[in-house]
Amino acid sequence: MKCLHCGDCCIRFAIPELDKPEGVRCKYLTEDNLCELWDKEERPKVCNDHDYPASICPIGLAKLELTLVNKKEGLKQTGLLNIF
């Protein structure tokens, strides 16, 4: 899943290398939810290896649901939904 820059994973999870407990905003997360360490050597391995699956990403799930609702509405308007 492509990162949506919501910052949730940088708040939700602990980052032991940075002594960051879970539920606390990472001190390297900028106001626009970008990582100040993104392309730097000092970025923790746990962050580099992190892959936030859509199945647990609340922002990703909400965006997916909205996309599906919009597509369903579009099919209703064209009459194509009645085919199924």
Question: pTM score, two decimals?
Answer: 0.60
Q: What is the pLDDT along the chain (84 residues), one digit of tens a residue?
A: 566 677 888 888 899 999 999 999 999 999 988 899 988 999 999 888 877 665 667 666 676 677 777 777 766 666 655 554
Measuring CA to CA, how many Å separate 2 from each of 67, 71, 79?
15, 20, 32
User: With contact defined as beta carbons under 8 Å apart, do 20 and 10 qualify?
Assistant: no
The closest of 45, 39, 9, 5 to 24, measured between CA atoms, is 9
Classify 78 as helix, strand or coil.
Answer: helix
